[in-house]
Structure 1
Amino acid sequence: MSNKKVDVAIIGAGTAGMGAYREVIKKTDSVVLIEGGEYGTTCARVGCMPSKLLIAAAEAAHFGQHTQPFGVTYDKPVIDGKAVMKRVRDERDRFVGFVKEDVEDWNPDHRIRAYAKFVDDHTLELSNGDTIEADRIVIATGSSTFVPPPFKAFGDRLIINDDVFDWDDLPDSVVVFGAGVIGLELGQALSRLGVRTSLFGRDHLVGPLSDDVVKYKARETFMEEFPFHPHGEVTRMENVGDGVEIDHIVEGKTLTEKYDYALVATGRRPNVGKLGLENTSVKLDERGVPTFVLATGQTSVGHIFIAGDAGNNIPLLHEAADEGKIVGYNAARYPQIRAFTKSSPIAVMFSDPQIMMVGESYKALMEREADFAVGSVDFKGQGRSRVMLVNNGILRVYGERGTGRFLGAEMIGPKAEHIAHLLAWAHQSGLTVSEMLDRPFYHPVVEEGVRTALRDLNAALNMGPVSPARCIDCGPGG
Structure 2
Amino acid sequence: MTPLHVDVAIVGAGTAGMGAYRAARTHTDSVLLIEGGAYGTTCARVGCMPSKLLIAAAEAAHQARHIQAFGIQVPTVTVDGAAVMARVQRERDRFVGFVLETLDAMPPGDRLAARVRFQDANTLVTEHGQLIQARRVVIATGSTPVLPPVLKGLDARLLTNENVFDLPNLPTSLAVFGPGVLGLELAQAMSRLGVRVKVFGVGGGIAGIQDPAIREDANQTFNKEFYLDASARVEFVRETTTGVDVHYLHRNGVWKTEAFDRVLAATGRAPAVAGLGLEHTGVPLNDRGVPLFDRFTLQCGDSTIFIAGDASNDSPLLHEAADQGRIAGENAARFPDVRPGLRRAPLAVVFTDPQIAAVGLNLKQLNEQFKDRFAVGVVSFEDQGRSRVMLRNQGLLKVYGEQGSGLFLGAEMFGPAAEHIGHLLAWAAQQRMTVSSMLDMPFYHPVIEEGVRTALRDLNHKLHIGPQVIARCMDCGPGA
If the TM-score is normalised by the length of the shorter chain, which range does it land in? over 0.9
Where 2:163 maps in the other structure, the secondary structure is helix
Q: Distance in 2 between matches of 1:133 and 1:474?
A: 68
- What runs of 5+ residues in structure 1 fail to find an aligned partner? none
Q: Report the secondary structure of 2:120's partner residue.
A: coil
Alignment-derived partner of residue 358 in structure 1: 359
Q: What is the CA–CA distance in structure 2 between the aligned matches of 1:323 and 1:29, rounded to whole Å?
A: 20
Q: Which residue is 1:71 aligned to?
A: 71
Residue 69 of structure 1: how far off its partner (Å): 1.8
Q: Which moved more, 1:454-463 or 1:212-221?
A: 212-221
Q: Matches of residues 72-87 of structure 1 in structure 2 within 5 Å?
A: 72-87=72-87
Q: How does 1:47-446 map to 2 (within 5 A)?
A: 47-250=47-250, 251-370=252-371, 371-446=373-448
**CA 1:467–1:368 in 2, change beyond 3 Å: closer, same or farther?**
closer
CA distance in 2, matches of 1:198, 1:252: 16
Larger deviation, residues 205-214 vs 146-155? 146-155
CA distance in 2, matches of 1:3, 1:472: 71
Query: How high is the sequence identity, in percent, across the aligned residues?
Result: 55
Query: Aligned in 2, Cα 1:102/1:472: closer, same or farther, shift over 3 Å?
Result: closer
Q: Which digits, 9 at most, give the CA deviation of each residue in 1:391-435, with x for residues without a partner?
A: 001000000001000000000000000000000000000000000
Code of the residue aligned with 2:389 in structure 1: it is V
Mapped to 2, the partners of 1:230 and 1:224 lie a distance apart of 14
Per the alignment, residue 41 of structure 1 pairs with 41
Give 1:150 deviation, angstroms: 2.2
Q: Which moved more, 1:144-153 or 1:362-371?
A: 362-371
Normalised TM-score (structure 1): 0.98
- In 1, are the aligned partners of 2:150 and 2:236 still within 8 Å (CA)? no
CA distance in 2 between partners of 1:339 and 1:367 (Å): 24
Distance 2:73 2:364 in 1: 44
What are the Cα deviations for residues 164-218 of structure 1, in whole angstroms up to 9, with x where unaligned?
A: 1101111111100000000000000000000111111122211011111111111
Structure 2 CA distance for aligned equivalents of residues 77 and 30 of structure 1: 57
> Is this contact kept in 2: 1:152–1:158, CA < 8 A?
no
Q: Is the 8 A contact 2:85 2:167 kept in 1?
A: yes
1:9 CA drift (Å): 0.5
Q: How large is the RMSD of aligned CA atoms in angstroms?
A: 1.1
SS in 2 for 1:98: helix
What amino acid sits opposite 1:220 in the alignment? Q
Q: Secondary structure at the match of 1:329?
A: helix
**2:285 & 2:102 partners in 1: Cα distance?**
33
Tell me if 1:464 matches 2:462: no
TM-score (norm 2): 0.98
Q: Secondary structure at the match of 1:331?
A: helix
Tell me how far apart the structure 1 counterparts of residues 103 and 377 of structure 2 sit (CA, whole Å).
Answer: 46
Q: Deviations over 1:38-69 (max 9, x none)?
A: 11110000000000000000000000111222
- How far does residue 130 in structure 1 lie from its aligned partner after superposition? 1.0
Contact kept? 1:20, 1:327, Cα under 8 Å: yes
| CA distance in structure 2 between the partners assigned to 1:263 and 1:141 by the alignment | 24
CA distance in structure 1 between the aligned counterparts of 2:423 and 2:29, rounded to whole angstroms: 37
CA deviation after TM superposition for structure 1 residue 334, in Å? 0.3
- For residue 145 of structure 1, what is the amino acid of its counterpart? P
Q: Retained in 2: the 8 A contact 1:143–1:268?
A: yes
Contact 2:370 2:402 in 1 (8 A): no
Runs of 4+ in 1 over 3 A off after TM superposition: 470-473
* Rounded Cα–Cα distance in structure 2 between residues aligned with 1:466 and 1:417: 28
Is the deviation greater in 211-220 or in 463-472?
Answer: 463-472
**Aligned partners of 1:398 and 1:406 also within 8 Å:** yes
- AA at the equivalent of 1:88: V
Number of residues of Structure 1 aligned to a counterpart in Structure 2: 476
The whole-number CA distance in structure 1 between the counterparts of 2:265 and 2:469 is 48
1:341-399: CA deviations, max 9, x gaps?
A: 31000000000000000000112111334310000000000000000000001000000
Inter-partner Cα distance in structure 2 for 1:83 and 1:217: 34
Give, in whole Å, the separation in 1 of the partners of 2:53 and 2:342: 33
Query: CA separation in 2, counterparts of 1:118 and 1:207?
Result: 36
| Distance in structure 2 (CA, Å) of the matches to 1:96 and 1:71 | 41
Partner AA of 1:343 in structure 2 = R
Give 2:50's aligned amino acid: P
How many Å separate the matches in 2 of 1:171 and 1:181? Answer: 20
Deviation at 1:269, TM superposition (A): 0.5
Matched with 2:478 is 474
CA distance in 1, matches of 2:156, 2:400: 46
Residue 252 of structure 1 deviates from its aligned partner by: 2.5
Name the SS for the 1:175 alignment partner. Answer: strand
Deviation at 1:471, TM superposition (A): 4.3
Question: Whole-Å Cα distance in 2 between the matches of residues 470 and 347 of structure 1?
Answer: 33
What is the CA-CA distance between 1:457 and the residue it aligns to? Answer: 0.2
8 A contact 2:380–2:395 mirrored in 1: yes
Q: CA deviation at 1:466?
A: 3.1
Which 10-residue stretch deviates more, 382-391 or 152-161?
152-161
What is the identity, as a one-letter code, of the residue corresponding to 2:203?
D
User: Contact conserved, 1:281 with 1:301, CA < 8 A, in 2?
Assistant: no
Stretch of structure 1 that moved more, 187-196 or 71-80? 71-80
Per-residue deviation, 1:249: 1.0
Question: Do 1:211 and 1:363's aligned partners in 2 also have CA atoms closer than 8 Å?
Answer: no
